[in-house]
Amino acid sequence: MSDPIDPTHAPTSRDPEPAPPLAAPMSSSPGPISSAPLGLSSRPPPARPSFLFFGVVAALSLVADVTSKAWAEIVLSKRTLLDPAIVLIPDHLGLTLAYNKGGAWGLLQNSSEIVRRPFFLLVSGLAIAFIVSLYGRLVVGQRALKWGLPLVLGGALGNLSDRIIRSSVIDFVDFRANWIETMNHGIGKVAKGWGITDHWPTFNVADVSICIGVGLMALDMFLSKRGHEAGRPSSGARLAPEPALSTSGSSKPPSA
């Protein structure tokens, strides 16, 4: 005999359906998702050399040149024609005052001031703009250029100030050597009329700064070239970015 049906518990269409059982939690959580956009490195860009360092080194070079020229003009101008130089190393190194209206090795020495002055001012201005622009693109590791560029700038500003104030550059370091005469003999075989002498063109502290700076620039180019030939990335190159993990559920593990 069947049990009587309780009308109070009879199912009706209005009764809610039983809730499905809760899904069991996953035993392992997915790995961390990379927050870096695809194709971009998460590493910060490399720091660039400070323009404060650039300005300090250039200023020290400029001050050394200006003060040495002032000393040379005051002290060496009092020397007589019979004894015009202060001898530091006999037959090799001395200090004697000279005014150079031209450039290196007497470039445009005999040209008109109307041609010479605008030419050197333009060249100096372009060189300064190039040096500042190049320094702004340096990256960490380019130590040679970090020092070379401000040295060149300080020397260029020292000689430029002379051309603006005096229309000529003060030179006072006089150097002689046998190898200079040998070099001039070799040049004379190619260039007709080249003077044969053991005397290097008289120079100043600005010229020394420029030569050291240019040498450091050449060293940086040589080291960069060797690094590329060896297959090493340059000091400023970024590493290749790591691929971001996919958030799509359709990813499948690689088949064996």
pLDDT at residue 23 in the model: 53
* CA separation for the pair 176, 188 (Å, rounded): 18
- Identify whether the C-beta of residue 206 lies closer than 8 Å to the C-beta of residue 155: yes
78 or 231: which leads in pLDDT:
78
Q: Which of 93, 89, 97, 103 is nearest to 71 (CA)?
A: 97
Known active-site residue 171 = yes
DSSP 11-28: --TTSPPPPPPPPPPPSS
Looking at the predicted structure, is the pLDDT value of residue 232 above 60? no
- Averaged pLDDT for residues 47-64: 91
**Catalytic residue of the set 65, 171, 174, 220:** 171
Q: How far apart are alpha carbons 138 and 234 in whole angstroms? A: 12
Q: Is 198 a catalytic residue?
A: no
Domain ranges of the chain: 51-82+99-175+203-229
Please tell me the distance from the alpha carbon of residue 172 to that of residue 145, in angstroms, as a whole number: 28
Q: Nearest to residue 209, comparing CAs of 133, 143, 132, 157? A: 157
**What's the pLDDT at 256?**
47
Would you say 153 and 131 are in contact if contact means Cβ atoms under 8 Å apart? yes
CA dist list (Å): 89 to 86, 126, 180, 181, 224: 9, 38, 16, 18, 39
Query: What tens digit of pLDDT does each residue of 197-222 get?
Result: 888 889 999 999 999 999 999 999 88
Q: Nearest CA to 131 among 65, 214, 48? A: 214
How many whole angstroms from its chain centre is CA 36?
A: 30
Q: How much is the mean pLDDT over the chain? A: 78
Q: What is the pLDDT of residues 85-99, one digit of tens each?
A: 999 999 899 999 999
Dump pLDDT digits (tens) for 118-173: 888 898 889 999 999 999 998 888 889 999 999 999 999 999 999 889 888 999 99
Residue 245 has what pLDDT? 47
The pLDDT, as a whole number, for residue 239 is 40
Q: Which structure tokens are listed for 250? A: 């359709």
Question: Which are the contacts of 94, defined by CB distance < 8 A and separation ≥ 6?
Answer: 85, 86, 87, 88, 174
Q: How confident is the model at residue 234 (pLDDT cuts 50, 70, 90)?
A: very low
Query: Would you say how long the chain is, in residues?
Result: 256
Of 65, 174, 207, 220, catalytic: 207
Model confidence at 240, in pLDDT bands (50, 70, 90)?
Answer: very low
* Beta carbons of 207 and 155 less than 8 angstroms apart: yes
